Chain A
């Protein structure tokens, strides 16, 4: 899987960034509040998609359980907000505890009184949980579909656990954040949402650069090596377990950040974030955008979700058909995803089919190798 890199002029890259930043700053004035909020949510989902791309697109691990880490991040953020704005409720604890007769904050929520701890917890806790699950699974050389199934089972474990524990985390109802206060401001208010949008946009770009940095260099090469031929990586003297655990926990941390941002913008976190379909959807965003291309993951997440909301508004019943068809189509016809197709041989093959471009005389692999050689 070698992509032909398209080299852009420095001026074009610079102007692209200027336009992008201008758009981000101007977005709250251009878009109505409802659409802005949606865009913010989808941007936050693109961070979890980046994580999926790192583990699936680069390392070849198809996790169907990213929802766990997504929801954990969301719960951390929501609980902090609930606790800080609970001063008017009895016992100074969030309101829902009173419904179940709980009088004291459960001990593991105590540290969430501190904002610093929470900001660390949002990405460290999901990252650690992912690292633990990953280590236990990878240590036994469980891989391929077994890994996917086990992550899905873990997802169900967490879902059932969170769903059943009313006294600790309000069970099925989840934690609401839109009426809580952060630094004296209502989280659900328009001005706060605007700030959250900007934070999300900045973090998406930061996460993108971070992911780019991760896949660059030797670490990234080993990840790709694991994807393409794991036994060979092992025989060469590397321990794939360590690399897989690290990348899985990085993806978990990204999912946690994404979940927290999504929660504050959608106003609630609930065990619904840990349902099976949602986690599989994350994979399809990456698959459509182009796995192994980081930008593809971001664009896939944003565009598919936008399409989903537009289609669901117009024809509610048809989205399932479209989504199902998209799964099948991408997997059978566009295995590299849209961006991968554009960067690869896709457009050229299409032009050739209509006779608009001369067929390659040599073997395609030679052609590709030559181009790569020229680039370096």
Chain B
């Protein structure tokens, strides 16, 4: 019993990281048919945001609130990755609409640039850049409609970008002068230390669970609930679902598909940032941290089927539990006296990397029977 609980918990913990990472990818893929290879790097940005937030909360002014930095960083990571995602959509992905393979290559290019960016730009100035992007993108939308409709709006827009750039440079300068760790570029991995209330373990029914893992499960749970509520209860959620089902028809009925694309991409990227916070709690953070998760996320999306959150949830927990069962060789401890050839096979696959081999092979076999995933989208098109 204890063993089973332990195994289940580990599986759910692995699965929940996958889930929160794949959630954003699934929404974007479902809506636009776009595979965003930079998703892992958006996660990486979220993880770095956690690191920066942690260091800023160590400053004397914010020291009393240090313990709550992780909560703040979840929101900040959402915003940072979301803003970068929106910029990505506005500049590149929009141009490539309708050619998913080209988008895939372009986003890979973006991911290379982002990786090198965190290596060779000091994090303080990176923060400044993100802040100026945030102001530049959102300040013009807050202007009163009188200004927005005037002919001179482009000058207002331009001046708001100048203001944004100045603010960004100034914040960058302030941060780099007050936090010495952020003032120099470094390619080395950094570590996020969990606040004291998150260290240690909790005992439930005689089994000890590490608190960070529980926190990750909590983050995942909240993200899934929030995104489900958003998609099913809000007006924009309804528009997003409508565009996912039939883009042309929604466009005809007056839904601004352009806005839907931006919002969806922003939310999807923001969720990647939240996933980054979860990832930063698990181990050290480096420029390549996203690459470890990205293919797993794709597998979740492919396995779960397009445009279906339930499929995504089931697929990620399924993969998580299977990874734990195979990778830790738990089947052997559950059934110790199994026949020799079988136990040899299980031992052969009982490492993390070999478990991955097994899982991917199983997924490919599964797709032989259900090529469009667990919950395929219904439709009458020839191309599905």
> Which residues of A are in contact with B by a Cβ distance under 8 Å?
60, 62, 136, 139-142, 144-146, 148-150, 152-154, 156-157, 160-161, 163-164, 231, 276, 280, 283-284, 287, 317, 320-321, 323-328, 330-332, 335
Contacts and interface: CB of A to CB of B under 8 A. Distances in A.
A106 B98 CA distance: 49
Contact of B302 (A149, A161, A164, A335): A149
Contacts of A332: 92, 95-96, 106
Contacts of A136: 364, 368
Contacts of A153: 295, 298-299, 360, 363-364
Contacts of A139: 368
Contacts of B383: 231
B35 A280 contact: no
A140 B371 contact: yes
B101 A320 contact: no
B353 A331 contact: no
B356 A157 contact: yes
B119 interface: yes
A202 B110 CA distance: 37
A320 B360 contact: no
Given A150-B364, A153-B364, A163-B353, A331 B116 contact: no
Contacts of B364: 136, 150, 153-154
Main secondary structure of the interface of A (DSSP, over half): helix
8 closest Cβ pairs, A-B complex: A327-B109, A324-B112, A320-B116, A324-B113, A140-B371, A160-B353, A324-B109, A328-B109
A148 B294 CA distance: 13
Given A152-B295, A284-B105, 7 more contacts: A148-B101, A152-B298, A153-B298, A157-B360, A321-B112, A324-B109, A327-B112
Contacts of A60: 101
A165 B291 CA distance: 22
Nearest to A164: B353
Main secondary structure of the interface of B (DSSP, over half): helix
Given A157-B361, A231-B383, A142 B367 contact: yes
B120 A317 contact: yes
Given A142-B367, A161-B354, A276 B95 contact: no
Contacts of A287: 105
Most B CB contacts (10 A, CB to CB) among A139, A152, A231 go to: A152
Contacts of A149: 35, 295, 298-299, 301-302
29 contacts: A62-B101, A62-B104, A145-B29, A145-B35, A146-B302, A149-B299, A152-B295, A152-B298, A153-B364, A154-B364, A160-B353, A160-B354, A160-B357, A161-B357, A163-B353, A164-B357, A280-B108, A284-B105, A317-B119, A320-B115, A320-B116, A320-B119, A321-B112, A324-B113, A327-B105, A327-B109, A331-B106, A332-B92, A335-B102
Interface in B10-36: 29, 33, 35
B351 interface: yes
Most A CB contacts (10 A, CB to CB) among B96, B112, B367 go to: B112
B48 to A, nearest CB: 17
